[in-house]
Amino acid sequence: MKLLKKVSIYTFIILLVVSIYKDLSIHSPISNQPDDEVELKEMPHNNTNVVKVKVQKGETVLSIVERINKAEKNLDIEQILDDFKASNPNADPYRLKSDTFYFFPIYD
């Protein structure tokens, strides 16, 4: 019985160490790499400039808009969502698909 306890404890410790190593060595799903911003254009319905951005895993409409607008301004969340919906009529701003391009508003 003592042998079974020792083997179980050693197995647990080895699995714990391997698990910690894998957690620390795998990259975070949220990336700080630059977006694939490919296009800047003006939307005719509200005279807002938008940029086409490829969404990465874990990003939200607000996080992308803050990043592309350098987060220096106080931005109205409702206005951001309205502009996003106007620029992307078939997209749900609360459920962005990663590796998909969307138009995001740029505020001057």
Tell whether 64 is covered by a domain. yes
Q: What is the CATH number of the domain that holds 65?
A: 3.10.350.10
Distance CA 12, CA 8 (A): 6
74 assigned to some structural domain: yes
Q: Is residue 13 part of a domain?
A: no
Q: Is residue 106 within 8 Å of residue 48, measured between CB atoms?
A: yes
**Any domain includes 66:** yes
In a domain, 43, yes or no: yes
Expressed as residue numbers, the domain containing 53 is 39-106
Tell me, yes or no, whether 34 lies in a domain.
Answer: no
- Structurally, the chain folds into a number of domains equal to 1
Can you give the pLDDT of all 108 residues of the chain as single tens digits? 789 999 999 999 999 998 888 888 775 554 444 545 445 565 555 567 889 999 999 999 999 988 888 766 677 889 889 999 999 999 999 999 999 999 998 887
Confidence (pLDDT) at 35: 46
Structural domain includes residue 26: no
Cβ neighbour number for residue 48 with a 10 Å cutoff: 20
Q: Is residue 22 part of a domain?
A: no
